[in-house]
Amino acid sequence: MARGRRRSRGGRDGVRRGRGNAPVAKGGGGGNRGTGEGDRLYRDLCDLVRRNPSGSEVRMRQRRAGLRTISARLETLGFRGMRPRSLGGRHVWALVGDWHARGLSPGTMKNLMVHLRWWAGAVGKGSVVMRDNDRYGIEDRKAARGYRDGLVLEAAKLAQVRDERVRLSLELQAAFGLRREEAIKFRVAEADRGDRIVLRASWCKGGRARAVPVLEVAQRELLDRVHAFAGKDSLIRPDEKYVQQMGRFERDTRRAGIPKSHRLRHGYAQRRYRELAGFPCAAAGGKSVRGMTREERRLDALARRMIAGELGHGRIDVVAVYCAR
């Protein structure tokens, strides 16, 4: 009788397990069962975990589960045929934008980022994932109020910055939503076109040149001050290189209590959203997309498309990092 009994595929705990001893989800949480490509990436990632053991068995089990969630979502987002070494910045931004769009909690996003960073490090591509979660709009789970800090450049803190070039770079970040590198390499004589500034491709991340409109009197006054100070030069000292000015920027901003100047880009995006849509974005206390009327959703989409271009992002979904959804 026992000889003819069919043996269960589960383990001792009755849970069906796949390769790498990871539990196989029964529901739709994985999002890719039976699709082939996502399973292949997950199997490759499990092999990567096996070849790079670190931490307890529980930690490795959690890592496999996190990587299953990530690989399944990548396939859902249209990234098919990936291998572990295929991971790049566009995949990271697509995932983060998707997490924000689906309303995942900060804690969940932080945990997934841990697994994503492990994956990148294991294949020798650690630089594709930025070290600071704040750069991806993932707030500190300890205090949600802190997420709104740093969106505006405070005059008292700016006054504590010793170097005039650093002060002007910070003001450019706040006024035009520039990245640090763009604000340091900024040559106002070349960029200022009257009604807009045009950023040279070599200043910008990914080599994507872009234009940002000049809409306010304060923006024009700032550009005039940069003209008077720098003339035809950038905001790097003539006898120094970019890396030296970046070091000075980091030291001065840290001393002044402005350690995360990238938050100024978030502030710019949220202000522009209100100007373009006529109401605040979700990150600034407005409605989520799910709660909007049809007309509000139309205005939301138009605002996000404009903001994506002004910030230098090629995809509209990345705006969720700055404005939430």
- Considering the domain architecture, whether residues 108 and 177 belong to the same structural domain is answered as no
pLDDT in tens, 82-137: 999 999 999 999 999 889 888 788 888 889 999 999 999 999 999 999 888 877 88
Q: How far apart (Å, rounded) are the C-alpha atoms in residues 273 and 300?
A: 8
Please state the pTM of the whole predicted model.
Answer: 0.63
Extract the tokens encoding 137: 């709009």
Average predicted confidence (pLDDT) for the chain: 85
Last residue of a domain, one of 205, 239, 258: 258
Its domain, for residue 197, covers 155-258
Q: Is 60 part of any domain?
A: yes
Q: Is 80 part of any domain?
A: yes
Last residue of a domain, one of 216, 232, 258: 258
pLDDT in tens, 200-224: 999 998 898 999 999 999 999 999 9
Last residue of a domain, one of 146, 175, 203: 146
| DSSP tag of 216 | S
Q: How far apart (Å, rounded) are the C-alpha atoms in residues 66 and 309?
A: 32
Q: Kindly report each contact of residues 142-147 with a partner whose C-beta sits within 8 Å and lies 24 or more positions away, as own/partner.
A: 144/106, 147/283
Q: Is 59 part of any domain?
A: yes
**94: closest CA among 320, 275, 271?**
320
Q: Is 14 part of any domain?
A: no
Counted domains in the chain: 3
Q: Is 10 part of any domain?
A: no
**114: closest CA among 138, 98, 90, 94?**
138
DSSP result, 162-201: --HHHHHHHHHHHHH---HHHHHH--HHHHB-SSEEEE-G
Q: Is 32 part of any domain?
A: yes
Q: Is 239 part of any domain?
A: yes
Q: Is 2 part of any domain?
A: no
- Considering the domain architecture, whether residues 278 and 317 belong to the same structural domain is answered as yes
